[in-house]
Amino acid sequence: MNRLDIRTLVRDYLNEATADLWTNDTLNRLINEEIRSLARKNIYLEEIHTVSTVVDQFDYTLPSGTVKVEKVEKNVGTSSKPDWQEWTGWDNYAGALYLRSRPTTAWTLRIHIKKKFTELSDDTTATDIPDEKVEVLVWGTVVKAYKALMGYFVDAKNWDSVAKPDGIGMSQVQNWLIQAKAEYRELVNLYRTVSRPRDINLTG
């Protein structure tokens, strides 16, 4: 699914099939704003990043978009018969993994990371958000659009260029926002990733 597909779904829920009050540029900005926020709601990519250590090197750059390192393992076996053992005592800061001691040999590390979804810069590139989780993005964008509409209502002259539907006022928009938030919260709770329990190392 690409940005055009996502924006079309957002417009379906806003009941504005073609750009009028909400321009494409506005919705594109809101879509990316929502993408950036998803990791904070525990909706993210899980990825395993592999890197080889360098003798005496403490720090290793993590992939762009990494939010958190969950676990680090090193292969004490061979490439054909790997034996992954957990490596403790590392730190994750400013986009890099820092080891507590200098490697004395070239280990292969397997780094389990939480990663943000990629922001969309065009209408054709497919999103890396799984199809079932796109619904969260769509409703999050709808919520943001209704919040923007409430700000739009503050200044009545804004309605001079876009016809105001009869009987629509701030209270009606607030009601739409409440309903959209309820749907959004339900979807976030449904699709958020619950971190798997980890063994706690009290000595590492």
pLDDT tens for each residue of 135-156: 999 999 999 999 888 777 666 5
- DSSP 8-state code for residue 154: H
> Taking a C-beta distance cutoff of 8 angstroms, is the pair 34, 141 a contact?
yes
Query: Which contacts (CB < 8 Å, 24+ apart) does range 157-164 have?
Result: 162/20, 162/21
pLDDT at 123: 96
Cross-sheet strand order for the sheet of 66-75: 45-52, 108-115, 66-75, 84-86
What's the mean pLDDT in 183-202? 77
- Helix (H) / strand (E) containing 46: strand 45-52
pLDDT at 143: 95
- Beta carbons within 8 Å of 78's beta carbon, 6+ residues apart: none
Q: What is the pTM of this model?
A: 0.80
- Helix (H) / strand (E) containing 91: strand 91-93
> Taking a C-beta distance cutoff of 8 angstroms, is the pair 43, 191 a contact?
yes
pLDDT at 193: 85
| Residues paired with 66 in a beta bridge | 115
Report the alpha-carbon distance of residue 164 to residue 149 in Å, rounded: 12
Residue matched to tokens 């063994």: 199
